[in-house]
Chains A and B, each alone.
Chain A
């Protein structure tokens, strides 16, 4: 099982929208609607931002949205804010009992 593929970095200016992709295979991302996304600020624990491809936990801003097409999932952040600057990780079921993470994407707010 290989890690899911994410871009190493993305950037955007305040107020803009950015999208982070997460590419897997038909055995993980494409095979299950169990893609989740996590935000991690330096030295902090990861925080769940999206689950089941496109659902937001209570308390997460509606500026964060998720989607999936085939073997690629995406996280979109609209109305970019300074506090969104962080590392973002995707995750997917890889079988009914195992889990894969992406390599992580560093978001820079210019």
Chain B
């Protein structure tokens, strides 16, 4: 199936741990994103990569580090997890065109205890 897929779907971990979320898209898109959705459903962009190059880097703690090994993958690594990092993290991709929509993965629900 053509899609944006991210793993894991659920991630429960303790404060201070380091964790990674993986994302892959087989839509042939040039640009990939990470969004954070809080408990009130607000969506905030964190990072955007175009063809493996970082193009958007919002005000995010440097404990969050994206890595794009190729244009089909964008992983998110989080160091020293904090309680406030608990949220749903969505990966998305789009083609480089001002009319192209975003295609989202199904999200990773991160719970930090």
Whether A and B are associated in the same complex: the answer reads no
B residues in contact (CB < 8 Å) with A = none
